[in-house]
Amino acid sequence: MAFVISVALLKGGVGKTTTAVSLAEAASYGGTVTLIDADPQASAYRWSTLAAQSGRPLRSTVVPEASADLVRRIGQLTRGADLVVVDAPPPGDLKLGRIAIGVADYVVIPTPPEMAALDRVPATVDIARELGKPARAVLTMVRAGLAEREGALAALRSWDVPVFAAELPLAVAVQRAYGHFVTGVLAGYGFDLLAEILKEVQANG
């Protein structure tokens, strides 16, 4: 079965779908990628639909599967894929969130540098560790030069949460990317994050 990366945090509005789509699109340049939209809001699937309607479809295949059947159906949904990215649901459905983390080989935890989001990182990490899944945080919606970024990094390190060097900036280009083919800043973020994930996975064999 393909390697599975789940993008999850027990909070909504943190850049989760943007991170999942960026990762899937970056990985699609090296192989066949399936992005499973496990969020009942289906934002990733809607993104792919809008991109296709614009004439520039996403490179990855996006399928909606916001149900407890994900464990049973993931093999069927991702047949032929080299890599699978799961866009996990928001905290409203903890059971489905655990399932999305449970099917992963690796968990990426996107969080803006604000306490409302950061406060949910340890609980997400605890679920990943309970299920035996390696997990690492990535900062999203980052404003360069502000103290909040340094404070977020300090908080994550104090909680023994590893952090990716890649970051998603708070930028107009990112805000306008929804529903479009992934290019520019968003593409760079996806490639940087993917490269770090692959390097860590290879290092830990």
- Run of H or E residues at 163: strand 163-169
According to the model, what pLDDT value does residue 92 have?
66
**CATH classification of the domain holding 8:** 3.40.50.300
According to the model, what pLDDT value does residue 205 have?
57
According to the model, what pLDDT value does residue 182 have?
97
Is residue 93 scored above 90 in pLDDT? no
As given in the structure block, the two tokens for residue 166 are: 């890649």
The rounded distance, in Å, linking the Cα atoms of 154 and 152 is 5
The rounded distance, in Å, linking the Cα atoms of 130 and 133 is 8
Is residue 56 scored above 60 in pLDDT? yes
pLDDT tens column, 144-163: 777 899 999 999 999 999 99
The rounded distance, in Å, linking the Cα atoms of 86 and 88 is 6
- Run of H or E residues at 187: helix 184-203
Q: Which domain holds residue 12?
A: 3-203
What is the rounded average pLDDT of the residues 89-106? Answer: 85
Task: Specify the amino acid at residue 116.
Answer: A
Is residue 97 scored above 80 in pLDDT? yes
Chain mean pLDDT for the chain: 92
Is residue 69 scored above 60 in pLDDT? yes
The rounded distance, in Å, linking the Cα atoms of 156 and 171 is 23
139 with 152: CB under 8 angstroms?
A: yes
The whole-model pTM stands at 0.95
CA atoms within 13 A on the CB side of 165: 9
% of the chain surpassing 90 pLDDT: 77
pLDDT tens column, 6-22: 999 988 889 999 999 99
Is residue 44 scored above 60 in pLDDT? yes
According to the model, what pLDDT value does residue 123 have?
93
- Among 76, 124, 126, residue whose Cα is nearest residue 97: 124
What is the rounded average pLDDT of the residues 104-130? Answer: 95
- Among 114, 111, 170, 118, residue whose Cα is nearest residue 144: 170
According to the model, what pLDDT value does residue 17 have?
96
Q: What is the count of structural domains for the chain?
A: 1
